Structure 1
């Protein structure tokens, strides 16, 4: 079981002439640790039917399998079974129950169990600190940590890591670093898990030097050889477009497990280097590494960037041939790829093939319909997802608001915007404001649009002002347009978008001298307003010397390897 050979372990178990509770516990624990919760629970039921009496270790081994909402009821049933069977709640079982409830978002039950513990060991405190941290209650996690110190217990790698992780999840990198330093001052060496927590929390460009410093810490303490640390570093460098550093880390690795391949492929896509991601995928194939759903999802995102419909179709074929579940993020990525590559009909087929779409999948098809100007289909999907018991989030509302903007549906857009803020209590971000300002402006309600901008709880960016300037072009309002252009110029004078909008506005009203002046200004900042590219795939005539269309910017070997899938 520790080697992951669950089938062999089960066969050995079945061949045993006599079994005891320890035998059952080993198999149950093995299934749980290897990510087979349903098999673990079925074996437990089979154990009861065979008249074996479970002990505390049996229940404690099963509870990690129930640490998800899907199996939360089974976890509560096991808790009840333990009480009815007269199994005393020793620290091991209490800790397992506390952790299970915390991971299922029932923090009240976790707290109650913790308070009722007659004997709290370091593991108990660590479990409760982690429970608070996982659920976003950082202040309570820190308070719990301080109470642990008052009890005279010495903290280890686990409790402090939980605190560090909590700070990072909240984006408070400075506090995480301070905690990291305090950990070392206590002569406790932060481990790979603590280092990874910090690396994942570094999302602000201003914190990038901190990430580099932690890379140095990992090198000095031998943690940089840890596979998960390398993956965290690759992700961090990719996040800040330092793709050369990410690739250097990757190629320096002698052993490259699937997770590391996935990190570097995903990093290339995030950095806009999707062609590199495709090349890496082919190298991965040559190394004999089989892709999983995460690999395919990253590559599908790359196809969106490059407009590579045919490669996207090839990846879809791989998914079907290898029975990869088209649920959640894989299905969402497929829908997104087909939508952005011009095949909404294929996107619809994928969507309707999914039995129980998650919210992200609904959001993807709604955004697709909005992009194609099919606002009524977008609204229909919005209603259907609610009928399925799902609650719309900010991305859902962004999709329907975009649909209202494209369709010029002012009243419907305002209804959705009010529903978002008042009914669901969601705070609009800059994209939502850009949509609603654009919708008001296109209707000619400039006064109302400016009033919304003035009352925004966040500072408007160039997208919000640009939406209003675009509306000025539709309404041919030169005076307001010129005022907005000055504001946009002060925000970012190198943004070529508003130069184009002003040029269009002057052209609409026939002010050609001003059009020429704006064009000259644009050339002065390094753009002429004419550069641009449209991506469209064609099927060229091929011969034996031309296996790959030149438009793909992939060499023949790359294309052949992709086709193998």
Structure 2
């Protein structure tokens, strides 16, 4: 009775009192207190009933932090055992609450078995099962359960559709999503605003924005959820201006934004500073989710300083926000700051998750940092992260980046279960390391293990065909793409164009390009580059104009291809015009590659003085490629004196690179200066190189 006295009770509390306390713990999302209270029932010899058990289960599902804790599964099993012993598990709503708990813990098999063993079921039980299966990523299974539910005579409610529709928010399930929509119309469930919101979101995820817009406009009294859904639909599909217009309309109709609105706006590429100001005005800036989203957006845009300031303002530091900073630093090759963040993470007694570890591994790009990669591999082994396929994929990519394919294969062979994403990582790694033959062999093993290649697998393999000019295999992959309807993926079409271009079939590359309804920028770039490679400069420039007519803005890669076309065609005036256009009209800062293209253009045309003036006026320090382009021009026009001047510069830039010595040797040979040829050849032997090695490939038919 001590506990009763401590809270001001003079008599033994009744069951109703405990129920009110359990309800309060549900509202405050405090499962631990609910469990403690449930145990204290027995201290007062108060026997819990079916309602008590239902409230306890609801309390356990109320907190995501509790569901992610180590003890949650153990306690769920203990509750289940207690329910069986007390006999209250026979009540449908108690069994449904327990099923929901298992689903939220990710224990789908336990939930399915519980559902199968239920003596009776209602539509709420079916909804809980369908929603749980969908939430756990088993989208096809959710649809099959819906069909089974209808066959067994249960009438779906609007909550059933709200639970099911998210499973159809994928391109490959768009048809099934439309079928569910049709069912909803026929059953008269489509007028419900929750159903309309769910369908709007589904169509947005399937990139059917016309259908999403129609549904959105049909909603009479649009809640903040409806507005957020439409903003998210536009943002997910890259229609950022439209997302901003929807937000403007929302403000005009005096609908108060919430934290989801701000997060959706940031996902829709909204200016983080404007979104930040709006969050301050509406008082949402104190929300941890909003702050974390702002940190992520600032970090993504390279404004790490603002991200850091916001991070310091977080009352409770989170792994997500810290991962955003780590990712930003890694992207900018600032491994020193990455390690500071990692040290801070350890001080907070946190551990890296697979996402954070992959962010760090992606930042390890230089040989000097390879030791860090090995250290994080060791950290992954110690913390158990290497059991996560995402972390293993990151390690495979890192080892492949440094041509250490043997270690990548070793990691791969140690995995018990090899998902498709891991096969893709190793195939891509082999291609990156120039071992395309290994990639093609892996492809055969992948199919034998029962995995069907997806668009990512195909794109990597097509890149491998480019390396070894294996046209026949590339054609086979093209057939697979057509047979499995993968040609709709932008990067698959781009990879096919690259493959045909590099394997000598520009005609087929054109055919693939023309078959794509709405080519993305990368696809246009690939076609322009292909025309440039074949010396079809006029076609390349026409393609460039058509691309702009389609409303696409060229990027640095586009201009690299355009300048290459001008170089091959000797279009000096055109090259100058496009170089100026790049800077002045599109505000793109030329890279060293663009500068090397311009020097090559001037040099091939014999305008060596113009080339020299261009190099002197460069805003960035010229590198080996820039000076090398001018030396090549000296060889073409037999300018020995200028060539010797440039060769000295190249020697100090990279004395081990024998390429410039080969050019000088050729230049002296043209002028019949055999003593100088012999001297240069001797220098080449001393540096350990005799020019650039190469291979020849013959495709056997």
TM-score normalised over the length of structure 2: 0.69
Partner of 1:216: 378
Deviation at 1:54, TM superposition (A): 4.6
| CA distance in 2 between partners of 1:62 and 1:22 (Å) | 15
Kindly indicate whether the alpha-carbon contact (under 8 Å) linking 1:165 and 1:194 is maintained by their aligned counterparts in 2. yes
CA distance in 2, matches of 1:64, 1:196: 29
Q: Which moved more, 1:523-532 or 1:234-243?
A: 523-532
Contiguous gaps of at least 5 residues in structure 2: 1-133, 229-256
2:190/2:196 contact within 8 Å kept: no
In 2, Cα distance between equivalents of 1:294 and 1:349: 22
SS of residue matched to 2:699: coil
* 1:139 maps to 2:305: yes
Contact 2:158 2:189 in 1 (8 A): no
Correspondence for 2:147:
11
Q: 1:26-37 alignment to 2 at 5 Å?
A: 26-32=163-169
Larger displacement relative to structure 2 (440-449 or 108-117): 108-117
Cα 1:135–1:75, aligned 2, differ >3 Å: closer, same or farther? farther
Q: How does 1:230-379 map to 2 (within 5 A)?
A: 230-379=392-541
| Structure 2 counterpart of 1:499 | 661
> Could you say if the C-alpha distance between residues 32 and 124 of structure 1 is closer, same or farther in structure 2, counting changes exceeding 3 Å?
farther
How far did residue 13 of structure 1 move?
5.7
Aligned-partner SS, 1:171: coil
> Which sits farther off after the overlay, 8-17 or 265-274?
8-17
2:235 pairs with 1:100: no
Change in Cα spacing, 1:57 to 1:121, as seen in structure 2 (3 Å) is farther
| Larger mean Cα displacement after TM superposition, 493-502 or 111-120 | 111-120
Structure 1 residue 168: Cα displacement: 2.8
Query: Unaligned 5+ residue runs, structure 1?
Result: 540-565
**Deviation at 1:105?**
0.8
Partners of 2:383 and 2:346 lie apart in 1 by 12
**Contact 2:389–2:422 at 8 Å: present in 1 too?**
yes
Q: 1:519 maps to what in 2?
A: 681
> Are positions 1:23 and 2:185 aligned together?
no
Q: CA RMSD in A?
A: 3.3
Q: Residues of 2 paired with 1:52 and 1:77: CA distance?
A: 10
Instruction: Point out the more displaced range, 53-62 or 430-439.
Output: 53-62
Q: CA deviation at 1:214?
A: 1.7
On the 8 A contact 2:658/2:692 being kept in 1, the answer is: no
- Name the counterpart of 1:480: 642
Q: CA deviation at 1:411?
A: 0.9
Q: Is this contact kept in 1: 2:567–2:600, CA < 8 A?
A: yes
* Structure 1 residues 520 and 284: CA distance shift in structure 2, 3 A: same
Of residues 196, 205, 218 in structure 1, which corresponds to 2:358? 196
SS at match of 2:296: helix
Tell whether the 8 Å contact from 1:125 to 1:144 is kept in structure 2 after alignment: yes
- Asked whether the 8 Å contact 2:259–2:289 carries over to 1, the reply is yes
Kindly state the Cα deviation for residue 326 of structure 1 after the two structures are TM-superposed. Answer: 4.8
Distance 1:162 1:466, change over 3 A: closer
Q: How does 1:353-502 map to 2 (within 5 A)?
A: 353-502=515-664
Provide the rounded CA distance (Å) in 1 between the counterparts of 2:412 and 2:391.
Answer: 12
- Residues 1:278 and 1:85: Cα distance change in structure 2 (over 3 Å): closer
Pair 335,71 (structure 1): closer, same or farther in 2 beyond 3 Å? same
How many positions carry a matched residue from both structures? Answer: 534
Q: Secondary structure at the match of 2:314?
A: helix
Q: Is the 8 A contact 1:37 1:66 kept in 2?
A: no
Q: Deviations over 1:519-555 (max 9, x none)?
A: 333233334448543334353xxxxxxxxxxxxxxxx
**Which stretch shifts more, 183-192 or 390-399?**
183-192
What is the distance in 1 between the residues matched to 2:650 and 2:518? 44
1:88 and 1:302 map into 2 onto residues whose CA distance is: 46
Secondary structure at the residue paired with 1:84?
coil
SS in 2 for 1:501: helix
Distance 1:438 1:85, change over 3 A: closer
User: Within 1, Cα distance between the matches of 2:603 and 2:219?
Assistant: 63
- The offset of 1:113, in angstroms, is 5.5
How much has 1:399 moved relative to structure 2? 0.9
CA apart distance, 1:225: 0.6
Shift of 1:294: 0.9
2:222 to 78, 84, 87: 84
For residues 269 and 525 of structure 1, the distance between their equivalents in structure 2, rounded to whole angstroms, comes to: 30
Q: What is the CA deviation profile of residues 128-153 of structure 1, one whole-angstrom value per residue up to 9, with x for unaligned ones?
A: 4334444544333333323332xxxx
Shift of 1:75: 8.4
DSSP 3-state at the match of 2:621: coil
Cα distance in 2 for residues equivalent to 1:52 and 1:487? 73
- The alpha-carbon deviation at position 88 of structure 1 amounts to 11
Q: In 1, distance between residues paired with 2:263 and 2:567?
A: 46
Moved more, 189-198 or 427-436: 189-198
Q: Shift in Å at residue 82 of structure 1?
A: 9.0
Aligned-residue offset at 1:161? 2.5
CA distance in 2, matches of 1:106, 1:249: 40
Q: Residue 64 of structure 1 contacts residue 100 of structure 1 at CA under 8 Å; is this kept in 2?
A: no
* Partners of 1:441 and 1:449 within 8 A in 2: yes
Q: Which fold has the larger relative contact order, with Cα–Cα distance below 8 Å and residues 6 or more apart in sequence?
A: 1
Are the counterparts in 2 of residues 97 and 110 from structure 1 also a CA contact under 8 Å? no
Q: Which residues of 2 match residues 543-562 of structure 1 at below 5 A? A: none
Whether the 8 Å CA contact 2:171–2:206 is kept in 1: the answer is: no
Is contact 1:405-1:438 (8 Å) kept? yes
Q: CA deviation at 1:37?
A: 7.5
